Homo-oligomer: A and B are copies of this chain.
Amino acid sequence: MQKSDLLKKLQEIVGDEHVSASAAELYCYSCDASQIRGMPDFVIRPVSTEQISKIVSLANENEIPVTARGAGTGLAGGAVPVEGGIVLDMSSMNRILETDLDNLQVTIEPGIVQEKLNQALEPYGLFFPPDPGSSAMCTLGGLIANNGSGMRSVKYGTTRNYVLGLEVVLADGTVINTGSKASKSVAGYSLTDLFVGSEGTLGIITKATLRLRALPKERSVLLASFEDPELAGQAVVKVLSSGIVPSACEILDRNIIEAINTFDPKIGLPKAGAILMFEVDGTENTVREGIEMIKDACSTLATSIRAASDKKERDEIWAARRLVGAAVSRLDPLRTRVYVGEDIGVPIKELPGMLHKVREISEEFKLPIMTYGHIGDGNLHTGMCIDVLSDAEWEKLNKAADKIHRTAIGIGGTVTAEHGVGSARAAYLDLELGKALDVMILIKNALDPKGILNPGKMGV
């Protein structure tokens, strides 16, 4: 079909104002927060499942790629149309369809922003726990498609744990419903779990029923300093095996501490080989008790321990954590933080060794690497900044990232704990998954035989 005929058909489906093929607009949809780029042929802003079903069906008949996009905050190119075709901008489908307080559930459209959902739930004392760094911008559809998580997953788990059911448009336009409103069901394969984290390669998520939790009454934080990351790692194992489940358990390495203190000297993080930041939430008693237990567990390993005395101090400590991204990016005005090799996950006991290895890689390639992350989950973010105009720097960065990825896989870890595979990490799935990748491909081919759904992603 001619491009102009296709445009006409798409306009018939969604209306002229909701589809665009203008270069300026297409350009806006050619990237996400990663370094991956790809120009779409059309951008469409659908408002209903029915429209999406018609669009996907048309695309399937004409073998045109379809890539769904939420807020474009992804760090792996997941929403970038690397093979062109149609981008479905889901941000217009952003309604809360049902807030079912008695069942502690909410049914939403995928375009709603995480923070907006939680603002709407707050008056009811409820919340949707997964909270990535991008929660002020990212959409639930993106979170679900990537199985996003963030700082509190050590206690609350990932997005997967909160998706009860989905409405999905398949590659041929068929609309299916997965899961159940019952909180437990074993009726059939867990298709919900298959679509969660499939990054739009198996279907377009058009609706989701989510499980909610009651907002904790209290929160408190504790900051523990260590001589080196290995001791911090030991403390994490001790805390987690003591039965207390912190609502956050973060690590900052020496480089990150220095970066934050340089960025804003008022913060005055203790100089240390590593800092652990723990948060405990729950009732007043639970929190007090949890903080004491963590203090005890860390006491023989830490050089200093400081519990926030009040809400103000607690907020200051988290503000420091939230500054990591900015502090890393602003270290050197000539260098840009590039999200490559930045999301490894390793078994918790391998963390100290992995941190050591990252330092070695940093020295080998003469590339400063700053490490922080959700240590309670074994998830390390390695921050690298380069002069993005220099090919030599890119080469260095890619080589260092490659070594980081291969090291993580070698010790039983993963190249991506929460940011997704997309195009950025697709080449590593063969190494990480082995023959399981063949099973992914079998499933992909069965559900999307023409390969129109987000092609060029996840190695399928």
B residues in contact with A125, CB < 8 Å: 241, 243
Q: Which of B103, B146, B185, B458 contacts A417 (CB 8 A)?
A: B185
Check A414 against B185 for contact (C-beta < 8 Å): yes
A183 at interface by CB-CB < 8 Å? yes
The reply to whether B412 and A185 contact each other, CB–CB distance below 8 Å, is no
A164 to chain B, nearest CB (A): 9
Q: Which of chain A's residues 418-440 have a Cβ closer than 8 Å to chain B?
A: 418-421, 425, 428-429, 432-440
Check if A153 is an interface residue, CB within 8 A of chain B: yes
Q: Given A347-B103, A349-B100, A439-B170, is A182 in contact with B241 using a C-beta cutoff of 8 Å?
A: no
- Which residues of A in the span 153-195 have a Cβ within 8 Å of any Cβ on B? 153, 157-158, 160-161, 170, 174-178, 180-191, 193-194
Q: Beyond A289-B286, A446-B442, is A433–B187 a contact (Cβ under 8 Å)?
A: yes
State the oligomeric state as a number of copies: 2
Is A216 close to B, CB under 8 A? yes
A96 within 8 A of B: no
- B442 pairs with A182, CB closer than 8 A: no
Q: Which residues on B sit within 8 Å (CB–CB) of A421?
A: 186-188
Task: Name the residue among A101, A102, A176, A191 with the largest chain B CB count within 10 angstroms.
Answer: A102
Which residue of B126, B158, B198, B217 contacts A189 across the interface (Cβ within 8 Å)? B198
Query: How many Å from the CB of A322 to the closest CB on chain B?
Result: 20
Contacts of A374 in B (CB 8 A): 184
Cβ contact within 8 Å between A377 and B416: no
Cβ contacts under 8 Å, A458 to chain B: 188-189
- Name the B residues within 8 Å of A180 (CB-CB): 345, 412-414, 432
**0/1 per residue, A106-134, Cβ < 8 Å to B?**
00000000000000000001100000000
Which one, B181, B347, B349, B437, contacts A413 given CB within 8 A? B181
Q: A190-B193, A414-B180 are in contact. Are A435 and B285 (CB under 8 A)?
A: no
A-B contact pairs, 27 of them (CB 8 A): A103-B347, A126-B241, A157-B161, A158-B184, A176-B435, A177-B433, A177-B435, A180-B414, A182-B408, A182-B417, A183-B347, A183-B348, A183-B377, A184-B374, A185-B345, A185-B417, A187-B416, A187-B428, A187-B432, A188-B433, A188-B458, A188-B459, A189-B443, A190-B193, A215-B243, A285-B285, A285-B286
Given contacts A194-B443, A286-B286, 20 further A-B contacts (CB under 8 A): A102-B237, A102-B348, A149-B184, A175-B435, A176-B434, A181-B412, A184-B377, A184-B379, A185-B417, A187-B428, A187-B429, A188-B436, A188-B440, A189-B194, A189-B440, A190-B197, A191-B440, A193-B194, A282-B286, A442-B446
